[in-house]
Chain A
């Protein structure tokens, strides 16, 4: 892992600490009330704040997850060099695309 990936990995980890804490609190709050589409969408639809929160969360998680998978693959498999980069970009793009689609689905 080069220095740029290392810094990105640590920076996205630090960004996500408060986001994960908030996400867990929201999960506790929402599940106690009984999950329903009306409850979830009532909170998120049209909300710039929740939209920004989840978009940042998705982008940080996609970046962090993609670099993390690259690190584990380099340690546990025979993948090297260009193939590791293809794996990292594939995982990152998949997570970012599906994640931002989900944000659009619950916010717009």
Chain B
């Protein structure tokens, strides 16, 4: 029988809660990298409506819409993951933490899919 702990076998990396923590960190980092670009794009309005409109016309291409869908997923999954963390830290412990993490991920996928549908249809 293998008596090594999951930390030594790498088994923890298949744990839903470890994956949830990792998704929360990576989505947060990705959002922190994206935000300056988002702010720079909106800041184009300082130079006039036409500048912002030019950027928005470029952003109408399908590849950008696909990237925006990814960003909506990152925003939703980071917020829902954060709510899970706040609940763990501030509410009495409850069973089913893995299920909550999976529901958070699933809900973020649904929100992103709805966004993609709304721009495609």
B-binding residues in A (CB < 8 A): 10, 13-14, 16-17, 20-21, 23-24, 27-28, 31-32, 35-38, 40-41, 58, 61, 65, 68-69, 72, 91, 94-95, 98-99, 101-102, 104-106
Contact = CB atoms under 8 A, between A and B. Distances in A.
Contacts of A98: 35-36, 39-40, 43
Nearest to B78: A20
17 contacts: A14-B86, A17-B79, A24-B72, A24-B75, A27-B72, A32-B119, A40-B45, A65-B32, A68-B28, A72-B25, A95-B32, A95-B36, A98-B35, A99-B35, A102-B45, A104-B46, A105-B46
B115 A31 contact: yes
Contacts, number: 92
Contact of B56 (A35, A68, A94): A35
B39 A99 contact: yes
A41 B75 contact: no
Nearest to B31: A65
A16 to B, nearest CB: 7
Nearest to A40: B52
B17 interface: no
A50 to B, nearest CB: 12
A68 B81 CA distance: 14
A20 B46 contact: no
Interface residues of B, number: 36
B44 to A, nearest CB: 7
Interface string B6-35: 000000000000000000010011011001
A35 B53 CA distance: 9
A102 B79 contact: no
Interface in B39-78: 39-40, 42-46, 49-50, 52-53, 56, 59-60, 72, 75-76
Please list the 8 inter-chain residue pairs (A to B) with the smallest Cβ-Cβ separation, ordered nearest first. Answer: A98-B39, A102-B42, A37-B52, A37-B53, A105-B45, A102-B39, A105-B46, A65-B32
A69 B32 contact: yes
